Chains A and B, each alone.
Chain A
Amino acid sequence: MQQTSTPSRFGSLYGRIRARFQDVPISAWLVGMLAAVLVEALIGRDLAYMLGLGNLPSFFGLSLIFKKWTLIPSIVVFIVVVYVLPALGAVYLVRWAMHRWRGARSVAWVQRIPTRGYIIFNLAFVYVVLHFWAASSDYRLLVLRLLGVNIILTLSLNLVNGWMGEFSVSVAGFMAVGAYVSSVLMVWGFVNDDVFGPAVFPEAWAPYAFPLALIVAGAVTAFTALAVAIPSFRTRGDYLAIITLAYLFIVKSSIENIDFLGGARGFMNQPKVADSLLVVFLWTVLAVWVMHNYVTSTLGKATSAVRDNEPAAEMMTVNTRKVKMVAFLTHAFWSGVAGGLYAHIVGYINPGSFGLVKSAEILGMLYLGGLNSVTGSVLGTVLFTLLSEILRPLKLVKWMVIPVILIVVMIKRPRGLLGFQEIRLPFLERRARAEEEVSHAPAGD
């Protein structure tokens, strides 16, 4: 829903739409999305039935196109009535209200909220929209939670493959370590298990211990990543790709051969601590915020200097070895945390789910969204996930269609959709700038 800063080669229609909606604040879009979601909750089910779409479609009915193409008119009607009209109506209403009461006390008060508070307010709003959207089906809830995990994975991988300019393929390996460490901790602590014995702590504590378990899982993952980092950062080039590939296979076959982890059969009984959307949402926001902070700081930007010219970075007082370590270990840490979340979302893990295919999937999301871009990583993950869900009825053919789409994107935009650029939010930037000028309070950009 956000306006991107893509060049105007999408023609005048895009330009006109962009111009028309440029001054609409994010909150208005969120009100629009909320309206759409609420309308869906109210009449979606009945309307879908009347239009012959069966049950309430999970992803805007788009995947039904592949089941029965004659449904296309019904799908269009459904999308327009349930999503487009309520959303646009709400946006126009908010805009009208902003004009009508311009300068009124309450509006002025909203505009004086500091940027940081404004961002938190909007994030809360996003959560509310997602919450209502996911309320109608467990399938949506599962997809959303896995989406959060994938966002963390993609962004953390971007640190190494994008900002640092190396090539790592061990995401799935890091995930596996994080998943198993956190699962073992939680099962040992809170579940009566055959292998790990009776629960050590009362089960009610589990949700509070979960963040701790995730952090420990991330830390352990980062520690194992040292085994990759120490030898491979003496040089540059393809070494990291090869060593991370080795890491991936070593982790996978180690787990397959450790008996008390269940070997190839897998590991289950994780306590249900990641069943709510809120837990995953908060972790995703935290991860994005922390990594965004890092790459926008001068300390973090030095990572790009190492990528573009390492000897020059070293001469300009950058401790290049340290910079590379920090980027790689941050990647490992957050991948471990994401793995821990994943394990508790699906409630069952086995070594097979952390193979090269998983790494390739995350790489696909990364390169679709674009290197060196926080918003690109989020966008890439969302689009990839949506695409993957919408094309699900195609079954095996899906894995021929998605790569073709990726190739087309790579030809049209070789750096990915948002490579080396960010989605800009003019409204937020203006606000931050105004704040900067008024006082020297810290701006949360």
Chain B
Amino acid sequence: MPLLEIKDLTHFFGGLRAVHKFHTRIEPGEIRGLIGPNGAGKTTVFNLTTGVYKPTQGQILFDGQDITGKPPHEIGRLGISRTYQNLRLWGNLTALDNVKIAFYGRIRYGLLGAFFGLRGRSEEERRIDREARELMALLGIEQYADMVVSGLPYGIQRKVEMARALATRPKLLLLDEPTAGMTPAEMEETMEFVLYIRKTFNLTIWLIEHKMRFVMGLCRWIQVLNFGEIIAEGTPEEVQNNPEVIRAYLGTAVT
């Protein structure tokens, strides 16, 4: 059974058709790639999957469950998490708090516990603190835990965002251009990092990326989106040599 199955997904922004009849089947453990020129609708597909927008038409099944139209915080609890193309950290908080807040869906005390500090709360807070620090240690950023996140270097912020995404205990992780703004050397490192977290946290990964080397190195199956429609899909080699894809990226020759 696929972990994520999307059927016939169409979305309009007003009169603009952003996504048209998108479909996919992602198997557990896979690293799937989604590529396409700017404005092709890749991020919109991610936003539809995570519930930011309610699709005009179509169905999204996650782990055998229909999640179409559910709000993001419920989808997050079911096991989908993501990072953003432009970092969306909570800038005024410490790196540790950024990770801790992502435990929200699994906190085992209620409002009364929060207001009156009953016994269950301090145990739970200790557990969250420990697990968040462990998670940060696994990503090698534990020494930044108590620093305010907006003051950290870009690369560290990326890792904090990753730690935060992992703190919700996802089964499926969506990465929106994980190497944006990186040098080739950093990109190589990130490739290994993605493989590392997939293995450590037993993840399925779906990623948007522009850098061909990155996608080719990680994904076995790639879908290419242009003007909201899938124009090609296949193995990296097949996609790379597909004339439609080349045309989408480079345009047609003027004759």
| Contact status A299-B89, CB under 8 Å | no
Q: B171 interface residue, CB < 8 Å from A?
A: no
Interface stretch (choices A139-147, A229-237, A311-319, A398-406): A311-319
| Contact status B116-A312, CB under 8 Å | no
| Contact status B76-A317, CB under 8 Å | yes
| Contact status B115-A304, CB under 8 Å | no
* A residues in contact with B165, CB < 8 Å: 316
Min CB–CB distance B175 → chain A (angstroms): 13
**Chain A at the B interface: mostly helix, strand, loop or mixed?**
helix
| Contact status A443-B122, CB under 8 Å | yes
| Contact status B117-A298, CB under 8 Å | no
**Chain B at the A interface: mostly helix, strand, loop or mixed?**
helix
* A residues in contact with B52, CB < 8 Å: 311, 314-315
A-B contact count (CB 8 A): 109
Contact mask for chain B residues 91-121; partner A; CB cutoff 8 A; 1 contact, 0 none: 1110001101111111101010111110101
The answer to whether residues A298 and B101 also contact, given A314-B72, A442-B122 and a CB cut-off of 8 A, is: yes
Of B71, B77, B104, the most chain A CB neighbours within 10 A belong to: B104
| Contact status B92-A372, CB under 8 Å | yes
- The 8 Å CB contact of A302, one of B84, B92, B104, is B104
Q: A301 interface residue, CB < 8 Å from B?
A: yes
Min CB–CB distance A1 → chain B (angstroms): 26
Residue of A nearest to B169 (CB): A317
* B residues in contact with A320, CB < 8 Å: 73
Q: For the complex, what is the distance from the CA of A106 to the CA of B78, rounded to whole Å?
A: 56
The answer to whether residues A420 and B92 also contact, given A299-B107, A316-B164 and a CB cut-off of 8 A, is: yes
Min CB–CB distance B113 → chain A (angstroms): 8
Q: B168 interface residue, CB < 8 Å from A?
A: yes
Number of interface residues of A (CB under 8 A): 31
| Contact status A317-B111, CB under 8 Å | no
Residue of A nearest to B124 (CB): A298
Min CB–CB distance A445 → chain B (angstroms): 9
The answer to whether residues A317 and B77 also contact, given A297-B121, A442-B119, A444-B117 and a CB cut-off of 8 A, is: yes
Min CB–CB distance A165 → chain B (angstroms): 9
* B residues in contact with A297, CB < 8 Å: 109, 113-114, 117, 121, 125
* B residues in contact with A305, CB < 8 Å: 90, 93, 98, 101
Min CB–CB distance A382 → chain B (angstroms): 24
Q: B247 interface residue, CB < 8 Å from A?
A: no
Min CB–CB distance B166 → chain A (angstroms): 11
Q: For the complex, what is the distance from the CA of A213 to the CA of B84, rounded to whole Å?
A: 49
- The 8 Å CB contact of B88, one of A300, A302, A311, A443, is A311
| Contact status B81-A299, CB under 8 Å | no
In the complex, which residues 313-341 of chain A have their Cβ closer than 8 Å to any Cβ of chain B? Answer: 313-320, 326
In the complex, which residues 251-309 of chain A have their Cβ closer than 8 Å to any Cβ of chain B? Answer: 290, 293-294, 297-302, 304-305, 307-309
* A residues in contact with B122, CB < 8 Å: 442-443
Q: List 5 A-B contacts (CB under 8 A).
A: A293-B117, A299-B109, A308-B93, A316-B165, A317-B102
A316-B101, A319-B104, A372-B92 given; 13 more Cβ-contact pairs under 8 Å: A293-B117, A297-B113, A297-B125, A298-B103, A298-B104, A308-B90, A308-B91, A315-B72, A316-B164, A316-B165, A317-B76, A319-B73, A443-B122
* Leading 6 A-B pairs by shortest Cβ distance: A317-B105, A308-B90, A442-B122, A312-B88, A317-B76, A316-B102
